[in-house]
């Protein structure tokens, strides 16, 4: 039996008597996290995605609308949003969960703002976080610790870099949104000079600008994160910190098992940068502790809702809701003490990660079992919203 996604009747939108939050994008865990953060606070939520198989549409906290693909049809996508906007009783609030939606939304900001609030800085400022070339040049300018980075413009420069850099190293796209869609990975890893040149050619063959970067050594636990919503005065609201326990894929993957911690050093790295570039909005900063010098080094900052966005809310800092309240002009309540040692878990990916670690004898079965002790938040599973979890196992929804 094929189950079609629950969708929303656009004609009924005008009956909703408070600002609607619109979650934009296909990122399932990030989208569900944002939907639940907002919906649990009684905010009306609509999720827009071009995929009719989006099982997140079945969350009890949102309705779904199938829309054009912002990558292949950006103008149609914006026209679709504008059409919805004209039917709203109050301005909606846009919450992108992928970079492609961030770029598209900010590019057409002047048209969208007639009917939507956009809770983040304009494209010129946001580009300093989105564009990896501008981001690392900004870190250099303000002398913020980060991985050694090279900026090649042509193959001959890559050949020179190949003689200087340690292997393995990575090739990162300047614009990650389209790169991920083209190659189904967020970066390339090169283990030799020849592979570096080969992968550079592969990237530029699809017209991608790239940077080349050293890999900061260490395991998953070296990776940390800082999250906050910065208001228009660049003041952080709901500051939250976490550290990674496991990741998938190993080495260059996403955190599939993380936990909340208290590390003020992380905020001390991010907030001065945010103030200097005058950014406001939600941020997810990735920061790695370098075991060579014991220094925290900034890896990247995502200017949107991210994969584990429901964990801060579980711990007392509901960042999407804080952004929503501030955007519509309502008072922000200062979050209470943030709970530590609460874990976020993406079950299927963590099983893959753990099994590989066990086979490599980096993790024992007993250590694996013990790691699940304590309070947890899950990527898809939720007791109060179970349907998306069960639908994720059906053949129609498997990708």
For 236-258, how does the pLDDT look when each residue is reduced to its tens digit (9 = 90+)? 999 999 999 999 999 889 999 99
For 29-60, how does the pLDDT look when each residue is reduced to its tens digit (9 = 90+)? 999 999 999 999 999 999 999 998 899 999 99
Give the percent of the chain with pLDDT over 90.
87
* Distance separating the N- and C-terminal Cα atoms of the chain: 17
Of how many residues is the chain composed?
Answer: 399
Looking at residue 74, what is its pLDDT?
95
Please say if the pLDDT value at position 395 is more than 90. no
Question: What is the b/e burial string over 76-97, where b = at least 16 CB atoms within 10 angstroms of the residue's CB?
Answer: ebbebbeebbeebeebbbbbbb
Domains of the chain: 10-119 (3.40.50.720), 148-214 (3.30.1490.20), 220-391 (3.30.470.20)
Please say if the pLDDT value at position 15 is more than 80. no
Taking the C-alpha atoms of residue 292 and residue 290, their distance in angstroms, rounded to an integer, is: 5
What average pLDDT does the chain have? Answer: 93
Cβ contact 26:181 at 8 Å: no
Looking at residue 4, what is its pLDDT?
39
Taking the C-alpha atoms of residue 266 and residue 301, their distance in angstroms, rounded to an integer, is: 12
**Please, which pLDDT band fits residue 5 given cuts at 50, 70 and 90?**
very low
**Please, which pLDDT band fits residue 3 given cuts at 50, 70 and 90?**
very low
pTM of the model: 0.93
């Amino acid at each position: 039996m094929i189950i079609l996604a629950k969708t929303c009747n656009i004609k009924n939108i005008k009956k909703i008597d408070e600002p609607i939050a619109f979650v934009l994008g296909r990122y399932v865990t990030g989208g569900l996290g944002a939907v639940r953060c907002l919906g649990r606070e009684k905010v009306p939520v609509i999720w827009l995605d071009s995929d009719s198989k989006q099982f997140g549409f079945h969350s009890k906290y949102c309705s779904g609308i199938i829309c054009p693909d912002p990558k292949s049809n950006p103008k149609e996508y914006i026209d679709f949003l504008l059409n919805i906007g004209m039917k709203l009783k109050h301005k909606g609030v846009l919450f992108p969960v992928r970079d492609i939606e961030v770029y598209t939304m900010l590019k057409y900001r002047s048209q969208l703002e007639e009917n939507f609030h956009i809770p983040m800085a304009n494209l010129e400022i946001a580009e300093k976080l989105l564009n990896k070339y501008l981001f690392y040049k900004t870190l250099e300018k303000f002398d913020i610790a980060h991985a050694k980075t090279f900026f090649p413009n042509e193959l001959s420069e890559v050949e020179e870099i190949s003689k200087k850099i340690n292997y393995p190293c990575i090739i990162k796209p300047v614009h990650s949104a389209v790169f991920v869609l083209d190659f189904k990975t967020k970066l390339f890893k090169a283990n030799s000079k020849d592979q570096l040149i080969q992968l550079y050619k592969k990237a530029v063959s699809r017209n991608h600008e790239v940077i080349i970067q050293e890999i900061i050594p260490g395991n998953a636990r070296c990776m940390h994160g800082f999250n906050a919503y910065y208001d228009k005065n660049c003041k952080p609201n709901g500051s939250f910190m976490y550290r990674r326990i496991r990741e998938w894929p190993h080495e260059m993957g996403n955190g599939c098992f993380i936990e909340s911690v208290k590390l003020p050093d992380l905020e001390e790295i991010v907030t001065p940068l945010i103030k200097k570039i005058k950014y406001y909005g939600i941020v997810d900063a990735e920061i790695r502790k370098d075991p060579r010098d014991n220094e925290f080094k900034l890896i990247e900052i995502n200017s949107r809702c991210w994969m584990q966005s429901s964990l801060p809310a579980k711990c007392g800092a509901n960042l999407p809701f804080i952004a929503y309240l501030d955007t519509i002009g309502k008072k922000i309540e200062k979050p209470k003490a943030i709970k530590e040692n609460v874990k976020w878990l993406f079950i299927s990916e963590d099983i893959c990660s753990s099994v590989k670690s066990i086979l490599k004898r980096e993790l024992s079965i007993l250590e694996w079992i013990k790691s699940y002790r304590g309070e947890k938040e899950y990527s898809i599973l939720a007791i109060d919203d179970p349907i998306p979890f069960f639908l994720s196992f059906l053949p129609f929804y498997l990708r």
